[in-house]
């Protein structure tokens, strides 16, 4: 796990200015790679590597990694878990000998021998650049599900890539805001995985590679998840349970390869408990970590985490958080964000990673289980819409009631009203529109209304619609797997994985997700929805497969999220910072992006008796305005 950056010029040599910028990029990326720095300048290319040492921590495995003759160079951020097997099967028969024990060296030789075909062999997560100095050819690639980021800037002379947007900011690039991304950010509170908030900057899509040569740049997919309906009836439910256990056991075992201390997050939910149960069977001593909430006992799941830890005799630590913990880290998080991202659960994620890093360098997590195996309330609601017409009818008829009642995430009853209001509105939409609405904080009109007339004129609504359609095109009313696939392509890389990568790298912690082994994911989309969800259970096959391994107490209870007390903060401690600084009238009007009348409406909504979920939009505004001021960007 590391951070990388590089420049590949089309025709001319690397300029002194760009080389200086690349060097300036190094301290910017240091938090994600504190163990070693590697810089290399060629004629038409230059590379930077910041290393977080995990496998073969010796200096010999530092990067950029060169072939013996110096012709080939590799820049690599991530882990390849099957590198030993790949060496035995693909390199040893060719009499290739290694000088390190690193996955990096194996990866270099795989590219030398097989080119882009090497990507299909890899089990792991990565962002990388393979460069041939003689032919001036580069291959840049991102892992199957977008666990590792890769941000790209292009102009007529050069191609620049980096693990983080803030690294690109070290270069002389345009800082103009992309109006389409702006609209979608305030809808979703995050960006779709291929978009950037800046014009001329984009992210390489998950499962894609980009090939650079004298013929130009071509981009291709080397992997995409497919719903394999032809395999739905190939195994019984009992056979599918056994298969899932076997695949997860292998995935967890592979992800425990490390030359540094390793542990696991343990929330008390099913997914992280499954990972811990399997990991504990692979080692005599497993460190596990949970967050507890002193000020919010209703959200505290540590008692369930402790049951799992006790069953498997893990070295368990609970970090009990208070409101002061969040406030102390708030500006550290805002400072680290290099692009607007407003999922507020990044705050406890940052704190968990910071505290966990004091004990280990690698942590296993249960990320991906909900998206792949139908674990969210929206999945249950969609299943009900498709399988229970009376529920759909009830939701439509009662929509005015739910819309009129007070809604909040901060109480059980208010949250239920909020959910029913969301479901009732979804019942009136097409499946595709419903999916995108349930991924969003605001609908398209609500988001559009935030902006000034000038900004609205720059937003091409048809382009926004095209991007939404891109992520919903596979939803064709076949079964719920279509909904899950859309989640895998949009929400997982755009929100969940992006959040975990940022907050873990801010603390030099590597997080590995066994549920996102591509063999587990491929299996998940080869079984019917009935194996994943029914009228009684979400994530049915996960719950049933591992029931004998887990304490019964963690079953048959509602899925608990946690709401940071943003509403109260925004009304009190942070009110002046928000409305007298970031959203002060004169500044907003000079900025020209937002409609101040809408900002004032939001402020009044915040202070009303029915704030609904306005704090999410205010948090999105805070993050955006803080970023806007820090990086001196503009809308025109």
Asked about 353 being catalytic, the answer comes back as no
Contacts of 12 (CB under 8 A, 6+ apart): 44, 157
Rounded Cα gap, residues 588 and 295, in angstroms: 35
φ/ψ (deg, to 5) at 379 = -70, -40
Rounded Cα gap, residues 536 and 374, in angstroms: 13
Helix (H) or strand (E) holding 208, with range, is strand 208-213
The DSSP symbol for 291 reads E
Tokens coding 382? 């969609």
Query: CB of 403 within 8 A of CB of 421?
Result: yes
Tokens coding 166? 């803030």
Helix (H) or strand (E) holding 262, with range, is strand 262-265
Rounded Cα gap, residues 293 and 309, in angstroms: 18
Contacts of 165 (CB under 8 A, 6+ apart): 151, 196, 197, 198, 201, 338, 339
Concatenated DSSP letters for 123-135?
Answer: -EEEEEEEEETTT
Tokens coding 87? 């060496």
Half-sphere exposure for 545 (CA within 13 Å, toward CB): 28
Q: Please report, to the nearest 10 degrees, the dihedral formed by the alpha carbons of residues 237, 243, 248, 254 taken in order.
A: -170
Query: CB of 77 within 8 A of CB of 167?
Result: no
Among residues 428, 560, 433, the alpha carbon closest in space to that of 486 is found at 433
Query: CB of 111 within 8 A of CB of 74?
Result: yes
Catalytic residue among 2, 129, 162, 353: 2
Among residues 128, 127, 137, 113, the alpha carbon closest in space to that of 42 is found at 137
Buried/exposed 28-37: b ≥16 CB within 10 Å, e otherwise: bbebbbebbb
Q: Which residues are the active-site residues?
A: 2
């Amino acid at each position: 796990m590391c951070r990388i950056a590089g420049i590949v010029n089309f025709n001319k040599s690397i300029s002194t200015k760009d080389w200086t910028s690349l060097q300036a990029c190094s301290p910017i990326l240091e938090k994600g790679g504190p163990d070693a720095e590697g810089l290399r300048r060629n004629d038409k290319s230059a590379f930077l590597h910041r290393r977080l040492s995990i496998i073969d921590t010796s200096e010999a495995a530092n990067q950029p990694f060169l072939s013996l003759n110096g012709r080939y160079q590799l820049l690599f951020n991530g882990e390849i878990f099957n590198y030993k097997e790949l060496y035995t099967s693909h390199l040893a028969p060719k009499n290739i000998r290694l000088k390190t024990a690193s996955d990096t060296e194996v990866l270099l030789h795989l590219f030398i021998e097989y080119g882009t075909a090497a990507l299909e062999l890899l089990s792991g997560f990565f962002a990388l650049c393979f460069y041939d100095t003689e032919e001036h050819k580069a291959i840049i690639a991102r892992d199957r599900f977008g666990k590792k980021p890769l941000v790209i800037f292009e102009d007529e002379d050069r191609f620049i890539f980096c693990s983080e947007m803030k690294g690109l900011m070290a270069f002389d690039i345009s800082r103009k805001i992309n109006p389409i991304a702006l609209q979608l950010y305030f809808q979703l509170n995050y960006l779709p995985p291929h978009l950037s908030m800046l014009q001329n900057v984009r992210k390489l899509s998950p499962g894609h590679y980009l090939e650079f040569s004298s013929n130009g740049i071509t981009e291709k997919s080397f992997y995409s998840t497919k719903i394999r309906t032809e395999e739905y009836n190939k195994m019984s439910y009992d056979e599918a349970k056994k298969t899932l256990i076997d695949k997860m056991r292998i995935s967890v075992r592979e992800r425990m390869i490390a030359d540094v201390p390793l542990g696991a997050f343990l929330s008390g939910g099913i997914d992280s408990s499954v990972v811990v149960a399997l990991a504990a069977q692979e080692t005599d001593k497993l460190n596990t970590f949970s967050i507890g909430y002193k000020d919010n006992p209703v959200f505290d799941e540590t008692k369930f985490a402790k049951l799992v830890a006790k069953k498997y005799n893990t070295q368990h630590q609970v970090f009990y958080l208070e409101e002061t913990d969040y406030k102390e880290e708030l500006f550290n998080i805002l400072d680290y964000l290099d692009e607007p991202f407003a999922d507020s659960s990044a705050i406890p994620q940052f704190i968990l990673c910071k505290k966990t890093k004091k004990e280990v360098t690698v942590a296993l997590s249960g990320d991906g289980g909900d998206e792949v195996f139908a674990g969210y309330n929206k999945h249950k609601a969609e299943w009900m819409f498709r399988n229970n017409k009376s529920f759909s009818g009830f939701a439509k008829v009662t929509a005015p009631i739910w819309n009129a009642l007070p809604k909040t995430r901060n109480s059980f009853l208010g949250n239920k009203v909020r959910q029913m209001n969301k479901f009732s509105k979804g019942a009136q939409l097409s499946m595709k529109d419903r999916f995108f609405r349930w991924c969003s904080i605001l609908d398209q009109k609500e988001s559009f209304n935030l902006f000034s007339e000038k900004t609205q004129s720059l937003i091409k609504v048809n382009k926004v619609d095209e991007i939404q359609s891109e992520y919903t095109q596979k939803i064709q009313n076949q079964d719920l797997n279509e909904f899950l696939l859309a989640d895998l392509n949009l929400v997982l890389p755009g929100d969940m994985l992006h959040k975990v990568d940022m907050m873990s790298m801010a603390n030099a912690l590597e997080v590995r997700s066994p549920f996102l082994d591509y063999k587990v994911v491929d299996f998940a989309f080869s079984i019917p929805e009935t194996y994943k969800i029914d009228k009684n259970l979400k994530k049915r096959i996960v719950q049933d497969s591992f029931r004998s391994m887990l304490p019964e107490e963690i079953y048959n209870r509602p899925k608990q999220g946690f709401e940071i007390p943003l509403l109260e903060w925004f009304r009190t401690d942070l009110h002046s910072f928000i409305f007298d600084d970031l959203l002060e009238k004169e500044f907003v009007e000079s900025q020209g992006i937002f409609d101040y009348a809408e900002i004032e409406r939001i402020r009044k909504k915040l202070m009303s008796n029915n704030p609904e979920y306005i704090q999410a939009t205010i948090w999105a505004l805070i993050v955006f305005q803080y970023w806007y001021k820090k990086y001196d960007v503009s809308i025109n």
